[in-house]
Structure 1
Amino acid sequence: MRMLMADQGVDWTEEVVIYDDNWLKGDLKKETVFGQLPGFKDGDFTMYQSNAILRHLARNHGLYGKTPVEAAQIDMVNDGVEDLRLKYVNLIYENYENGKEDYIKALHTEHGHFERILFKNKGGKGFLVGDQISYADYNLVDMLMNHQVLAPGCFSGFPLLSAYVTRITSRPKVKAFLSSDAHKNRPINGNDKQ
């Protein structure tokens, strides 16, 4: 979400929730729809759920493809990113010590899916779907940057994926955001495992 908003020139204010203070002892958890964060406020409208927020931002900023078919393809690819993110979250929060080696081995297969998706769209020279960036691109790049920290060299054998991450993270506003303290000082995961 942050990368998308930075790239689209959206100004935002972030409220960091401290687990023990704001969350456990406060009323914030009761206010959330499903008892979890993140939350997003857009004027008087408040919503929760990361992917719902991403899709809301995508619709508001023209990041949902040019046709209904492109929108469906973007949703499909993003669901694939989320399947991978669930595996990653399980590793990081539930099975890090025993599962890291197997997770890293499986990255070859997982990255292969996205390499093929890129190749099918103009030989991998652009985005996941169509000829403009979508919310799924930001979501995938975020996930792949986590993989680069977890397993340096994990793009070996995936030249399109490697070039894609470089291309997206080199966009001027994305690059500025990724270089900012707002990004660099944020832990990748809440438990400091990476």
Structure 2
Amino acid sequence: MGPYTITYFGVRGRCGAMRIMMADQGLEWKEIVVDFADWMKGDLKATCVFGQLPKLEDGGFALYQSNAILRHLGRNHDAYGKDGKEAALIDMMCDGVEDLRLKYAKMIYQEYDTGKDAYIKDLPNHLDKFEAVMAKNKTGFLVDDKPSFADYSLFEVLLNHLVLCSSCLDTFPSLKSFVEKMSARPKIKAFLDSDAYKKLPINGNGKQ
């Protein structure tokens, strides 16, 4: 399978999880980095199905919406469970991660100065759901015994939250172990240590 192409801004943002997933899977990809000023001109935006990036190109196939892209990668690279029931559970967990991601994004982009402390205080009420699933599964992953696309999404969201509050996982042993295990996977570790990853801000407004 030839290299994928990601079109996105020069941030981790909505591409963070897919980049980590592709790195771990040993996949090759190219990046087209969009300057925000050029984006605001509207020409590229008009070609996007929902007027949004990221865009993933897989040969002549173009796909938008970050979670749809993760699902596509999951189908193509054995990261979508062994059967329909596991796939449904992975979908459920991905949607749960998306709920947390949206709450995080709202705080980062709309309420950082006024709502950061309250967000961090309330965070355990969201993390405990993932802790319970991870602890029950006993494999170190959300579903089955290897990473699915939902695991990559959760891992990336947790990395962002550890920047926001370095102690946020201290009372969640399963999640803390999960982050440590994912971070130690050789291809993920190499990617997280790379300049390509480190140079990118987490969010587009500089908040983290």
| Cα distance in 2 between the residues matched to 1:128 and 1:43 | 31
Question: Given the alignment, which residue of 113, 127, 149 partners 1:97?
Answer: 113
Identity of aligned residues (%): 58
Q: Does 1:62 align with 2:62?
A: no
| Cα distance in 1 between the residues matched to 2:136 and 2:88 | 16
User: 4+ runs of 1 displaced by more than 2 Å?
Assistant: none
Matched to 2:161, the amino acid is H
How many residue pairs match? The answer is 191
Deviations 1:22-66 (A, max 9, x none): x11252111100001000000000110000000000000010000
Matched to 2:26, the amino acid is G
Deviations 1:97-142 (A, max 9, x none): 11101110111111111110101102xx421101121000000000
Matched to 1:16, the amino acid is V
Normalization by structure 1: what TM-score?
A: 0.96
Normalization by structure 2: what TM-score?
A: 0.90
- Give unmatched runs, 5+ long, in structure 1: none
Paired residues for 1:168-179 under 5 Å: 168-179=182-193
Question: Given the alignment, which residue of 27, 30, 35 partners 1:18?
Answer: 35
Cα RMSD after superposing both structures: 0.8
Return the structure number with greater strand share. 2
| Cα distance in 1 between the residues matched to 2:152 and 2:127 | 16
